[in-house]
């Protein structure tokens, strides 16, 4: 009987894990209309990775465990709870919501299965995104050309506050080639380096797109 229960439990675990397989976009609105963005990637054998560092097309579990250990681990689902044992030894039990067997919400955020798109979606468009933390702010403008090349302009500033006076700013511009596979954009810079980002068109009537944890608006 114990063997039967073990086999049944293992089957139900694999069934629940398999149902979540793939990439999810998690969004949560806070007071002041602030949008929190994160990504969750699940494998059919029970691995979870939050905000994969190296994209997911393909998913590189070895690198994530090496360099993103705190956000990579194993998960189980029971009723309306998802229990996660992270690679750094910490664990969490989070409230989960499902539509049938598919994850629709986790820890108060809305989860949506990511939809792959092609480079054609970006062709000929320019997007702008910004972020700020205290006195530090940064903005990025990316122009996606039809021939597969891009121009990326970044600017940052630090404003004086408190006992600090004055301000400082910086600007940089990079060019290169871009490619899209599934929900991963690879920017290959002319200097030989590259930047892999998770991406999802986020159309609320404005043709916007999400790159990693930032919302970029079409210019």
109 and 147 in a single domain? The answer is no
69 and 99 in a single domain? The answer is yes
105 and 124 in a single domain? The answer is no
Listed in sequence order, the residues at least 6 apart from 216 whose beta carbon sits closer than 8 Å to its beta carbon are 127, 128, 129, 140, 142, 208, 209, 210
Name the residue with tokens 């700020």: 132
**Stretch 170-191: mean pLDDT, rounded?**
96
Q: Using the predicted structure, report yes or no on whether residue 208 has a pLDDT greater than 80.
A: yes
Domain span at residue 78 reads: 2-113
Q: Label residue 49 by pLDDT band (50, 70, 90).
A: very high
9 and 108 in a single domain? The answer is yes
pTM: 0.83
Tokens (6 digits) for 175: 């060019």
200 and 99 in a single domain? The answer is no
**Tally of domains in the chain:** 2
Given this model, what pLDDT does residue 159 score? Answer: 59
90 and 152 in a single domain? The answer is no
Last residue of a domain, one of 73, 88, 113: 113
Last residue of a domain, one of 82, 113, 144: 113
89 and 155 in a single domain? The answer is no
153 and 91 in a single domain? The answer is no
Q: For the domain that residue 151 is a member of, what is the CATH number?
A: 2.40.128.300
Name the residue with tokens 């006992």: 163
CA distance 77 to 26: 18
Is 180:118 a contact under the CB 8 Å cutoff?
yes
Last residue of a domain, one of 94, 113, 132: 113
In terms of C-beta density within 10 A (0-12 exposed, 13-18 middle, 19 or more buried), how is residue 101 classed?
Answer: exposed
pLDDT in tens, 27-44: 998 776 678 999 999 999
8 and 107 in a single domain? The answer is yes
133 and 96 in a single domain? The answer is no
Given this model, what pLDDT does residue 3 score? Answer: 46
Name the residue with tokens 């820890």: 107
125 and 97 in a single domain? The answer is no
pLDDT in tens, 82-92: 999 999 999 99
Listed in sequence order, the residues at least 6 apart from 59 whose beta carbon sits closer than 8 Å to its beta carbon are 41, 43, 49, 52
């Amino acid at each position: 009987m114990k063997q039967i229960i073990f086999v049944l439990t293992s089957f139900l675990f694999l069934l629940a894990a398999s149902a979540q397989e793939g990439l999810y976009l998690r969004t949560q609105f806070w007071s002041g209309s602030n949008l929190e963005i994160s990504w969750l990637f699940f494998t059919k054998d029970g691995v979870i990775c939050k905000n994969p560092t190296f994209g997911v097309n393909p998913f590189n579990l070895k690198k994530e465990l090496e360099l993103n250990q705190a956000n990579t681990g194993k998960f189980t689902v029971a009723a309306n709870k998802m229990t996660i044992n992270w690679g750094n030894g910490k664990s969490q039990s989070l409230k989960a919501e499902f539509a049938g067997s598919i994850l629709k919400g986790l820890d108060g955020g809305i989860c949506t299965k990511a939809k792959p798109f092609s480079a054609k979606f970006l062709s000929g468009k320019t997007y702008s995104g910004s972020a700020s933390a205290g006195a530090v702010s940064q903005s990025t403008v990316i122009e996606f050309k039809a021939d597969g090349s891009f121009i990326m302009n970044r600017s940052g500033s630090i404003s004086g506050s408190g006992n600090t006076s004055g301000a400082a700013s910086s600007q940089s511009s990079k060019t290169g080639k871009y490619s899209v596979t599934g929900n991963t954009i690879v920017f290959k810079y002319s200097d030989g380096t590259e930047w892999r980002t998770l991406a999802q068109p986020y159309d609320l009537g404005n043709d916007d797109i999400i790159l990693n944890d930032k919302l970029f608006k079409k210019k």
